[in-house]
Amino acid sequence: MQHFEIVGGNRLKGVVPISGAKNASLPIMAASILVDGETILHNVPDLADVRHLQVLLGRLGVKSQRDDSGAMHLRVEDEMNTHAEYELVSKMRASVCVMGPLLAKRKRAQVSMPGGCAIGDRPIDMHIQGLCALGAEFEFVNGDVLLRNKKLTGADIFLGGPFGSSVTATANVLMAATLADGRTIIESAACEPEIVDLANYLNACGARIAGQGTPQLTIEGVSSLTGTEHRIIPDRIEVGTFMIAAALTNGELELQGAQFEHIRAIVDRLRQVGVIVERAEKGLIVSSSRRLEPVQITTQPYPGFPTDLQAQAMALLCLADGNSMITEKVFPDRFLHVGELNRMGAHLRKAGPTVMIEGVKRLVGAPVMASDLRASAALVLAALIAKGTTQVQRVYHIDRGYETIERKLAAVGANIRRVQD
Ligand code: EPZ
């Protein structure tokens, strides 16, 4: 296993190239199951989760490989297997994105229930409800969801849940509806930019989807889809993470490839804190005034403030000049980073889905343990500003969603290195 060794205190300055979005790449790669011929995807980040999905797709007869330019080529070579097994799905929840494509194209999908998650309760009932509304028969077999249907039929589907829309449930139902008979309308659909990117890829393959980016999606079913070439959007959560790195270290970073339209809620909150965000030719320039203002943040489905940036924002507000509050409305239990930040001298008190953050003058370096992807990013950010040295253990969590983060940080002045345990 590896850990990061970080000595805090350096001001970050320079250019950070933003990678492609993990949460757009994964459903789009899964969608290649629906497609005849070859798909070529550009800007797919080199992440553990991406490599993991390639293994699963390989088991499902989808060959995927990168060419010298890094572009990923995907092609279905065998449609026999329709079983996404526990051994693979349990390692990465986003594997459930193969459910809709398998059902629509191969008439059968047997996908392991994902199981427990560090960020809280994550059922897949909305995925099943949505696919059954298209006519699938559902059965529960040895911990697997089994869905079958000879020919899916378009339907009007309300896909709202206890915490609002669901990103991957929308993706699964949208993908399945592209090959269903007739029209499907999805109400309370997720509006995330990653869903828009998926719909744009599918439309380029011959699908007929409208309304992407709004809560109402309309899909006219077609008989087949043909491979195409597509460029994955930039990763807005990586953008937000580096914006906070610039703010915390009183630095100045140019985030190359960042798309302003995707991060309005993030920009709004960070500007309230006192972070300066300017559009630049190739992206954004982020810097901060010395004084960080306390604010209130509530996470919500897009276009609200993303839950995937909640932990990182908490690390920032630890250093604000006053008391802040963060309420987590998407994953109410997503707070495993709180205890670790308190180990670094933060003053955080959790009450239900809300954390009160009393701003402190400084954080101190300490050995801390990453518990999940975004919590680990928050600990790395806190370490950049902490007095002394911090060891962030279990960095395999961060490798799931950030492409060589330590190299990108070191390139703009951070004192960080990856150490083999
Ligand atoms: C996606 O997960 C992202 N993952 C998550 O990012 C992100 O945190 C989440 O959306 C919310 O933005 C990918 O895109 C691969 P949801 P997803 O279904 O689709 C409840 C990261 O760090 N719900 O939108 O699994 C659910 O429990 C990851 O990159 C049901 O109740 O999230 C949650 O409270 C972590 N029943 C809420 O809806 C369902 O069937 C939103 O979850 C589905 C969801």
Q: Which of 26, 122, 129 to mutate to test the pocket of ligand 1 (most atoms within 8 A of CB)?
A: 122
HSE (CB half, 13 Å, CA atoms) of 180?
31
- Closest atom of ligand 1 relative to the 121 alpha carbon: 27
**pTM, entire model:** 0.98
349: part of which helix (H) or strand (E)?
Answer: strand 347-351
182 close to 153: Cβ distance less than 8 angstroms: yes
Q: Give the distance (Å) from ligand 1 centre to CA of residue 269.
A: 22
With a Cβ cut-off of 6 Å, ligand 1 is lined by 22-23, 26, 93-94, 121-127, 161-163, 166-169, 307-308, 330-331, 373-374, 401
Q: Give the distance (Å) from ligand 1 centre to CA of residue 166.
A: 6
- The three-class DSSP label of residue 5 is strand
HSE (CB half, 13 Å, CA atoms) of 87?
4
Q: Which residues of the chain have pLDDT under 50?
A: none
Contacts with 342 (C-beta within 8 Å, 6 or more apart), sequence order: 348
pLDDT score recorded for residue 65: 98
22: part of which helix (H) or strand (E)?
Answer: helix 22-31
Number of H helices, E strands in the chain: 14, 26
pLDDT score recorded for residue 115: 77
Q: Give the distance (Å) from ligand 1 centre to CA of residue 280.
A: 31
- Closest atom of ligand 1 relative to the 124 alpha carbon: 40
pLDDT score recorded for residue 121: 83
Interatomic CA distance for residues 233 and 22, integer angstroms: 9
pLDDT score recorded for residue 290: 67
Burial of 87 (0-12, 13-18, 19+ CB in 10 A): exposed
